Structure 1
Amino acid sequence: MEESVKLRVPPLTGQQKQPLALINYLYIGHFLARWGTRMWEFSVGLYMINIWPESLLYAAIYGAVESASIAVCGPIIGRWVDKLSSLKVLQLWLVTQNLSFVIAGASVVALLIHSSLKFTHFSIFMLLVLLINVCGGIGVLSTLAGTILIEREWLSVISEDQPPELLTKMNSLTRRIDLCCKLLAPVITGFIISFVSLKASAITLALWNTVSVWVEYWLFTSVYEGIPALGQSSQKRMARYLQCDQEMNNLTSEEDSLLPVTECRSELADRKWNKKISEKISEIPYIAAWRVYLQQEVALPGLALALLFFTVLSFGTLMTATLEWEGIPAYVIGLGRGINAVIGIAATVVYPVLQSRISTVRTGLWSIWSQDLVTESDRLIVGGVQNSLQSLMELLAYIMGIIISDPRDFWKLAVISFQAVTLAAFLYCIHSYHVRKHLFHFDRMLWAKCFQRAS
């Protein structure tokens, strides 16, 4: 047994150190990309409540725009990533994400410097607010494309023909990197806001994205060029997509040639027109992606996961803006969000241990199912739809924030959030019972054993 292991994993040579270094490049690039995103996610709520105090309206509108962008365009992004080459997706992702955050940061600086614009030049004020919302929506869509590419495809390709636990470890580590950014970026940004100024934090955000985009591009392209399997997977995916389109066109041509010659031309034209309409509707990226998603085994737990995003209690834009309205310093809010992230980091440490001892269903990590239980050809599409569904729930939460925009009524939003999380737990219990045919091992419980002995 030891000899076979040695044959499969020989001593490290120069050639084997290079993939390890490239994987580290992947982690560093992922860290840089997520850091900029987490800085913006934390800061935008504080910016909005300072731009228009005494109301959560602008913060809720921004959150609604951001969530609506993913909810509407998420499935399209998934199919777009599936259609283009990995290198092209990488270029568009990094440029659009970082450029959008730079423009949004500059707009925030302009609004903070010229705070009287809403009274003197309201049209310019609204134009800058609109620019912040549009750039935020574009930034979150490009971030989604990068997340799908890295977490749904690259990690799976790199871990192919490797021990099964490698994918679990890589998933846990990338998630841990994201949560570390979620922990540290708000804390550092909060200290900048509290002890320097809000304008300084916006300038820092813009400078970070201006500089980091070049480093990120070099790191990710080094990984892509250094691991041939990534390029091969991209070519296979594009070839599969083109083949599907060609087969659909050939099928349509063959069916048209089999139509009876004796039919009236008007009836033939009507039938062809109706058929083309139905085909075009079914081929709409949004509808086609949802149809693929609903056929997956992970659809119900995916819905349960999405319901967890229907909350205002996760230190998002609304909760951050409310705490700022309450007069809590920004660094304290950042520390609170950091503590929130620590729990998530602990989960990434505990998961590999739990997954090795109990089943994946019991552990309940949806992202692992989306890689293990979804076929490779559907993996990117399912990832896009899942992110879209989660953003739809976030959108509903922000719509509730628009309706209940008075910070004094925030407790009502908290009650609704609790109900949504309870529903998510109920749906997951249904899925767990369907898979395992039970929820608990009652016969192994202490009180059950005592009852059996007494009887």
Structure 2
Amino acid sequence: MAEETDQPKTRSQSCMAWLKSPSFFLYANFLCSQWGDWMWLFASGLYLVHLDDNLLRLAASFGFAGGGCVLLFGGLIGEWVDRHQRLYVVRVTLFTQNMSVMLSAISVGFALHLEATGHPLWQGPLRSVLEATIIIFAILAQLASIGYKISIEKDWLVVVAQGNKSVLANLNAVTRAIDLSAKILAPTCVGLIMSYGSHLMSAIVIAAWNFVSVFVEYGMLKVVYSQVPELAHKKLRTSFADEKEENATEKEELKEEEIPLKIKEKEEEESVPEAKQKSTCKRVVMVMFEPVIMLIMGWRTYARQKVVFASLALAALYMTVMGFDSVTCGYIYSTGLSEWAVGVSMALAGVTGIISTYIFTRLRAKVGLERTGLIAFNLEIICLTLAVASVWAPGSPFDPDFLFGSPMRRALDDTLEPEYSMLPQEPQAPKVACSPETPLEGPNISIILFLIGIITSRTGLWMADLVVTQLLQENVAETERGVVNGVQNSLNMLMEMTKFVLVIIFPHVKTYGLLILISFLFICGAGMLFATHSYRVRGHLFHFEKCLCNNNFGHHGNQNGHNGQPSNNGQQPSNNGQQPSNNGQPATAVAV
């Protein structure tokens, strides 16, 4: 009877225990954080376009300035994260990010109010001041968000998992699913507020959300911090000036051991003032130029990591016009699809991304992390072949003659035909997809293939992202997690800015096919980089030996032994993950 009465209590207690666990509070914190981030990311672009009289000047300025700041300061932010305790880092970055978004949203609300009332100050210098204030606070929030995400996603999750790789994989998968869900739902909520309310109302809601959520998020992190004592113990990264002094002191001590006592005493008496002066000058120089030195040393630290090829593969994935960003959405819309169809496509891409988080945990448990990465990159490449095929499919606006033709020809085309642009156009834009002489009838095969390719490729993309994220978590030292992930963010931004530069060089819809081909080459390069990492770790890529054994078994199974088993003199596969032999050659027998 006691067992029967205890069973319901055990279930309820297990449920309550999970609601009080560190994982639950991390998930809830991540949901609040990502919900606010995606609301602001979606709304900020619309605010800037609206305040700029439907031009893209402010939006482009914000994108370029923000990308440049991330590129320059990403490594420094990561270095700062490594040098401070965990709770201090999240407190500073969380409050800085939320307060910056709140102040930027308040500035947006004030600007919208002045514009709506037609106040004379709006036409004066105050307009430029408000625009600059909005962009500066938005960039500050973006930089603070990098530090916060590095600390939570790359450090806290690793400590909470306590060395259990399966638990870490589940934490990564669930947080990524939360991120993708918020990416779908949060912009929808803001869009509804803008549609049925106003832009001013949405700015007030965003400001209020960030003010309230900063205390809620910090409270949940405090609970996690108290429940996981290991979070209070962190190996801090020392400054470069201190490291140089320590190394110099060690070298001097080694030299002193080799010098006789009498000679050493004479040298000490003569060189004490000079040594003090030199050490003081060195320290002053190191402190003055420490940010520059940190930036250089951060990239060196990144380059010597064991997983550098895998992380470079992740960065290469950012150089693509085959994702649902502003450029891709503008291209899709210019081919004649409605806003509703674009929104549904983005939602489907989010759903496939959420499905990939479920597949990742199962696949990693069965075949390991490196094999999962190989499958993910190959899956993305296979799916994107449909997008490549769309370049030459019926209805494609790609025109090689326009790309490689003479300047006179391009100028004549622009004069005689409607303006082709990757910015949103009026609904009559389907004329872009075909020439006037051969009007396109029926569905646009090109854009259908393009959408199917990029929607299905999200599965491989997010699996690859999760694989590389966990590789960085498992293989980067605790004192280097911040700087390595900060440099990773800088590389990601460099690839993304490269994409925008290419779009600026080839802005015409007729040249978008070339951008698709360049993007596909970068993604194939990413797959090759990850394959290089896998080969370095596992010592092989494919099981040629086992394939040969299987073929011999199929043809001569009855001759090799009883019941179709190979004879004892056949080669047996070695342990999983066998490293290359000492002479640099891969192992000759490997397991599945």
Counterparts in 2 of 1:112 and 1:340: CA distance versus 1, 3 Å:
farther
Counterparts in 2 of 1:224 and 1:435: CA distance versus 1, 3 Å:
closer
Counterparts in 2 of 1:287 and 1:165: CA distance versus 1, 3 Å:
same
Counterparts in 2 of 1:309 and 1:124: CA distance versus 1, 3 Å:
farther
Counterparts in 2 of 1:61 and 1:329: CA distance versus 1, 3 Å:
farther
Match in the other structure for 1:188: 189
How far apart, CA to CA, are the structure 1 residues paired with 2:211 and 2:336?
A: 32
Which of residues 350, 358, 362 in structure 2 aligns to 1:349? Answer: 358
SS in 1 for 2:172: helix
Match in the other structure for 1:216: 217
Q: For structure 1, which segment, 187-196 or 355-364, has the greater mean C-alpha deviation from structure 2 after superposition?
A: 187-196
Q: Which letter does structure 1 place at the counterpart of 2:472?
A: S
Q: Which letter does structure 2 place at the counterpart of 1:380?
A: G
Match in the other structure for 1:430: 532
How far apart, CA to CA, are the structure 2 residues paired with 1:323 and 1:201?
A: 27
Q: For structure 1, which segment, 118-127 or 286-295, has the greater mean C-alpha deviation from structure 2 after superposition?
A: 118-127
How far apart, CA to CA, are the structure 2 residues paired with 1:32 and 1:120?
A: 34
Counterparts in 2 of 1:276 and 1:255: CA distance versus 1, 3 Å:
farther
How far apart, CA to CA, are the structure 2 residues paired with 1:132 and 1:290?
A: 31
Q: What's the CA shift string for 1:99-121, capped at 9, x where partnerless?
A: 11112223333444417799963
Q: For structure 1, which segment, 85-94 or 194-203, has the greater mean C-alpha deviation from structure 2 after superposition?
A: 194-203
Q: Which runs of 5+ in 2 are unaligned?
A: 1-9, 257-266, 374-466, 557-592
Counterparts in 2 of 1:271 and 1:229: CA distance versus 1, 3 Å:
closer
Q: Which runs of 5+ in 1 are unaligned?
A: 1-9
How far apart, CA to CA, are the structure 1 residues paired with 2:315 and 2:228?
A: 34
Equivalent residues, number = 435
Offset of residue 382 of structure 1: 1.4
Offset of residue 342 of structure 1: 1.6
Q: What's the CA shift string for 1:371-417, capped at 9, x where partnerless?
A: 12222222222122112211222222334455566789766655543
Counterparts in 2 of 1:48 and 1:62: CA distance versus 1, 3 Å:
same
- Residue 249 in structure 1 maps to residue 258 in structure 2: no
Q: Which letter does structure 2 place at the counterpart of 1:374?
A: V
Q: For structure 1, which segment, 220-229 or 358-367, has the greater mean C-alpha deviation from structure 2 after superposition?
A: 220-229
How far apart, CA to CA, are the structure 2 residues paired with 1:350 and 1:93?
A: 33
- What is the TM-score of this pair, normalised by structure 2? 0.63
Higher relative contact order (CA 8 A, sep 6+): 1
Q: Which letter does structure 2 place at the counterpart of 1:67?
A: G
Q: Which letter does structure 2 place at the counterpart of 1:248?
A: K
Maintained 8 Å contact 1:55/1:406? no
Counterparts in 2 of 1:58 and 1:76: CA distance versus 1, 3 Å:
same
Maintained 8 Å contact 2:78/2:147? yes
How far apart, CA to CA, are the structure 2 residues paired with 1:108 and 1:324?
A: 27
Offset of residue 445 of structure 1: 7.5
Counterparts in 2 of 1:276 and 1:127: CA distance versus 1, 3 Å:
closer
How far apart, CA to CA, are the structure 2 residues paired with 1:409 and 1:198?
A: 35
Match in the other structure for 1:360: 369
Quick check: which has more Rg, 1 or 2? 2
SS in 1 for 2:529: helix
Counterparts in 2 of 1:123 and 1:282: CA distance versus 1, 3 Å:
closer
Maintained 8 Å contact 2:71/2:490? yes
- What is the TM-score of this pair, normalised by structure 1? 0.80
Q: Where does 1:365-376 land on structure 2 (aligned, <5 Å)? A: 365-376=467-478
How far apart, CA to CA, are the structure 2 residues paired with 1:405 and 1:120?
A: 33
Match in the other structure for 1:206: 207
Match in the other structure for 1:141: 143
Q: Select the structure that is richer in helix.
A: 1
Q: Where does 1:10-409 land on structure 2 (aligned, <5 Å)? A: 17=17, 20-52=20-52, 55-113=55-113, 114=115, 121=123, 123-160=125-162, 163-231=164-232, 233=233, 236-238=234-236, 241=238, 246=242, 248-253=244-249, 284-319=293-328, 333-364=342-373, 365-401=467-503
Maintained 8 Å contact 2:502/2:515? yes
Counterparts in 2 of 1:247 and 1:106: CA distance versus 1, 3 Å:
closer
Maintained 8 Å contact 1:42/1:316? no
Counterparts in 2 of 1:117 and 1:292: CA distance versus 1, 3 Å:
farther
Q: Which letter does structure 1 place at the counterpart of 2:168?
A: L
How far apart, CA to CA, are the structure 1 residues paired with 2:242 and 2:369?
A: 38
SS in 2 for 1:353: helix
Counterparts in 2 of 1:212 and 1:270: CA distance versus 1, 3 Å:
closer
Counterparts in 2 of 1:429 and 1:164: CA distance versus 1, 3 Å:
closer
How far apart, CA to CA, are the structure 2 residues paired with 1:336 and 1:168?
A: 28
Maintained 8 Å contact 1:308/1:424? yes
Offset of residue 171 of structure 1: 1.4
How far apart, CA to CA, are the structure 1 residues paired with 2:162 and 2:85?
A: 20
